A = this chain, B = another copy of it.
Amino acid sequence: MKAGGRKGKAGRQESPAPAIPPSRHSALGGGAEFDRIRHIVARLGSSAGPIGDDCAVIPEGSGRLVASSDLSVEGVHFRTEWLSLKEIGWRAAAAALSDLAAEGASAVGVLVSLGVPWGATEGDPAEIMAGVGEAVASVGGVVLGGDLSGAGQWLVDVMVLGRAERPVTRAGARPGDTLWLTGRLGGARVALGAWAQGSAPPAGARAAFAHPEPRLAAGQALAAAGATAMIDVSDGLGGDARHLAAASACALEVDLDLVPVHPDVIETARREGIHSARFAALGGEDYELLVTMPHGFGPDGAARISRAGGVPLTRIGAVAPGSGARFRLSGAEIDLRGFDHFAGPGPVI
C-alpha cells in the first residue's frame, strides 16, 4: 500500500547542493518522494526559505506564526466509497492541523482550496467544508477563506496557520533524551487493509482513519514541558523516526515492544502473520506525535501531558549518538521501512 504523500514537505538536502547552505533547511530521510523534494529545493535556490519542518515559521511580534499545507486527493488519500464527504473534510483538515500539533502551536485558522468533480451536487462542497469546519473548531480555529475550482476528482488542500511562542522543530533531539509517542498506531492501516480487500473495516479502525484527532492540546503541553523535537506520525513510525533522526543529526532507538497498538490491529496482524507492533509501526495516517523529551522527563510528566492532551503518552525509546533510526522487537534489531508515497503509477491506496 502506498499513499500520495503526507511528509512531502520541501526539505534540506542530506548531500547539500552548492546553492543551498545546508544549515538553512531541515534534513529528511531517504525515499523517492524526498528525492523529489531535494530536487525542488536545489532548483529553487535562493528563492526557497528555510524549509523542511512540519511547518514554516514566520517571526511575528513576540511569538511566531507557523504555517503548513496538506493536500488530500481522491483516489490517493481517500475514496468516496469509504468516507462520507463530511468525513473527507474532517480528515483532510485534521491531517493539516496535525502539522501544527507537531510544532507545539495553537491554531489560528485554515484556508481551504477545494477541487470539485464535475458531477458533484450543489451541496457537496458545503458538506466537505462542514467536516473541515468541525475539525478546525475542535481545536479553537476558524475557516479563514479559500478557493474553489472544478477538477477531475475531489481535492482538499488545507493550509493551516497557527501561533507558537517556541516552535518545536524536528531538529532539536539530543543524545540522552527519551522518545515518546501519543496514542496508539495501526488503526488507519487496519481500515485501509479491509477496504483494499473489499470488506468493511471494524468500527474502531474505521474511526481512526476517518476521524483522526489532531493532537494540538498534547503538542502544546509537550512544548511547554520542554520537548526538544517533534514530528507527527503520518508516514508511519519507520519513516518519521528516520526524518526526526536526520533533522536532529542523531540516532533514535525505538523499542517496538513498547509501542501501543490500536486494538483492531491484533486480529488483522495475526491473520496476516505479522507481529502486531510491526504491523502498527508500518502503518501511516495515524497522526500521532513522536516527540523527544529532555533528561528528567518521566512518568509524572507523561501523566500531566496525557491529562492536558486527552491522549496517552508512552515512552517508546531513546535518543543516542549516531544517525538513523534503529528498531528492536522482542530483543532483536529489525528493518522497518515507512511506506514510500511516490512510487506511483496510478492511485495507490
Q: Which residues of A contact B (CB under 8 A)?
A: 4-5, 8-10, 33, 35-37, 39-40, 42-49, 51-53, 55-56, 58, 60-62, 65, 67-73, 75-77, 108-109, 111-116, 118-119, 122-123, 125-127, 129-130, 133-134, 136-137, 142-153, 155, 157, 159, 161, 341-342, 344-348
List residues of chain B with CB within 8 A of the CB of A61: 60-62
The reply to whether B69 and A113 form a contact with Cβ atoms under 8 Å apart is: yes
Identify which of B49, B142, B151, B155 contacts A49 (C-beta below 8 A): B142
The answer to whether A71 and B118 touch (CB under 8 A), given A126-B42, A137-B47, A155-B155, is no
| 13 residue pairs A–B, Cβ–Cβ below 8 Å | A8-B147, A10-B146, A43-B123, A44-B133, A52-B145, A56-B144, A58-B108, A69-B157, A70-B113, A71-B149, A73-B151, A77-B149, A157-B157
Identify which of B4, B65, B149, B153 contacts A60 (C-beta below 8 A): B65
* CB-based nearest B residue for A129: B40
The reply to whether A33 and B148 form a contact with Cβ atoms under 8 Å apart is: yes
The reply to whether B51 and A144 form a contact with Cβ atoms under 8 Å apart is: yes
In the docked arrangement, what's the CA distance between A51 and B133, Å?
Answer: 13
List residues of chain B with CB within 8 A of the CB of A4: 149-151
Given contact pairs A73-B155, A118-B344, enumerate 5 new A-B contacts (beta carbons under 8 Å): A44-B133, A67-B159, A68-B145, A73-B150, A150-B347
Q: Chain A interface mostly helix, strand, loop or mixed? A: mixed
List residues of chain B with CB within 8 A of the CB of A146: 8-10, 51, 69
The reply to whether A111 and B69 form a contact with Cβ atoms under 8 Å apart is: yes
List residues of chain B with CB within 8 A of the CB of A42: 126
Q: Which 6 pairs show the lowest CB-CB distances between chains A and B?
A: A8-B148, A61-B61, A47-B133, A56-B144, A49-B142, A43-B126
* CB-based nearest B residue for A152: B152
A97 shortest CB reach to chain B, Å: 13
